[in-house]
Structure 1
Amino acid sequence: MNLNYPIELIPDKKAGGYTVTFPDVPEAITEGDDLDEALLRAADALETALEFYTAAGKALPKASKPKRGQHTVRPCAQACIKLGIYEAMRVQGVRKSELARRLGWHMPQVDRLLDLHHASRLEHAETALHALGRRLDVAVA
């Protein structure tokens, strides 16, 4: 699952800084006083926008291939894992109650696992992915 989304950086010639938009996620828009701040805020804006999709039970937008030299932004690693669990559930038609049953968990545990802002344990995410017939592959670049 690719969650590296290309961004458009629009310089503000009058005030300085940048506006950041995501061609694949139109709900995500932010700005920063310089490039570093704009990129940092872009990750937060992306996570927030993707939460709208999960709350509505919608498919996550596909990340397009970036153009040469185009910046990309992705959610933090933990959010990527949680979004992977969400998308696997959505594709398979597995509801939270079914995942809780498969794992022998209570519903609040599944809710926390899918909450992008809750610090879940990695082994819980791996267990949930296994219950969905998926696995977690990690790469450091």
Structure 2
Amino acid sequence: MFNYQATVDFIEEENVYEINFSDFSELQGVSYCKEDVELEAQEILLASFAELVELRKPIPFATQTKSEATFTVYFPIICCLKIALHNAILNSVTQRIDLARRLNINAQQIERLLDIHYASKIELLEQALYILGVEASITVTPKLVDNSMN
């Protein structure tokens, strides 16, 4: 659901690593050192998602699967919950202020709850999702070694 794939190519003429996203052909980024590629990819996607939240447009789920040529862009759990909440609000046609009332919080707090760059309480995100008919669950699995970035 939130396992977005990206590719990286080293551009010798410019001495940069070019980052492209499988699900977002219009997005592109660069990193000046190999060690920062994954973090740069995450920041680019999160900035794009923050803009979609502000514009109240849906954030598409990942459609591409992992391949030899791609790496997975990691998102913190809190960001995944915020993306899911944003999409759930849009899918339910629930007004943000109505959700705020049901959560017993004010309008400013609901905006912060949806702000990808703001630290929110997981319990409140989970409750908001539940109100909208979405059940949140977390799966913990051992990480497979990703040698594509080495």
> Normalising by the residue count of structure 2, what TM-score does the alignment of the two structures yield?
0.84
Query: Who is 1:116 aligned against?
Result: 116
Question: For 1:113, what is the secondary structure of its paired residue?
Answer: helix
Deviations 1:34-78 (A, max 9, x none): 333111111011000111211111121231223522212143221
Q: Percent identity?
A: 27
* 5+ residue gaps, structure 2: 142-150
Question: For 1:28, what is the secondary structure of its paired residue?
Answer: strand
Preserved contact between residue 6 and residue 72 of structure 1 (Cα < 8 Å): yes
Preserved contact between residue 66 and residue 72 of structure 1 (Cα < 8 Å): no
Deviation at 1:26, TM superposition (A): 3.9
Deviation at 1:110, TM superposition (A): 0.7
Cα separation, 1, equivalents of 2:124 and 2:7 = 35
Cα separation, 2, equivalents of 1:26 and 1:79 = 22
Query: Who is 1:36 aligned against?
Result: 35
CA RMSD in angstroms, aligned pairs only: 1.7
Deviations 1:94-127 (A, max 9, x none): 1211111221221111111111111101111111
Count matched residues. Answer: 140
Cα separation, 1, equivalents of 2:58 and 2:125 = 20
Query: Who is 2:147 aligned against?
Result: none
Query: Counterpart of 1:112 in structure 2: which amino acid?
Result: R
Query: Counterpart of 2:131 in structure 1: which amino acid?
Result: A
Query: Who is 2:18 aligned against?
Result: 19
* 5+ residue gaps, structure 1: none
Preserved contact between residue 43 and residue 76 of structure 1 (Cα < 8 Å): no
Query: Counterpart of 1:103 in structure 2: which amino acid?
Result: L
